[in-house]
């Protein structure tokens, strides 16, 4: 790959990034709050499921030994 091809790819990448930035917008406070709540609930659920699996594994391990 020579320098010109690399320059063309880089320019194309920059143009695509610019197009994406023009389309995106800053979320409103309400949008941000709801996204943060949903993300937090999801993290808590995943942690709770992991904790339950861990506790069940400890019980099963204790019964076997």
Please state, in angstroms and rounded to a whole number, the distance separating the CA atoms of residues 2 and 14. 19
The model's pLDDT over 3-62, given as tens digits with 9 standing for 90+, comes to 889 999 999 999 999 999 999 989 999 999 999 999 999 999 999 999 999 999 999 988
pLDDT value at residue 62: 82
Instruction: Report pLDDT for 3.
Output: 85
Domain ranges of the chain: 3-64
**pLDDT of 2:** 86
* pLDDT band (50, 70, 90) for residue 63: confident
């Amino acid at each position: 790959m020579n320098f010109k091809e690399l320059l063309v790819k880089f320019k194309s990448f920059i143009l695509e990034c610019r197009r994406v930035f023009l389309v995106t917008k800053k979320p409103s406070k309400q949008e941000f709050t709801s996204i943060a709540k949903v993300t937090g609930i999801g993290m808590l659920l995943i942690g709770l499921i992991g904790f339950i699996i861990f506790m069940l594994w400890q019980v099963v391990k204790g019964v076997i030994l």
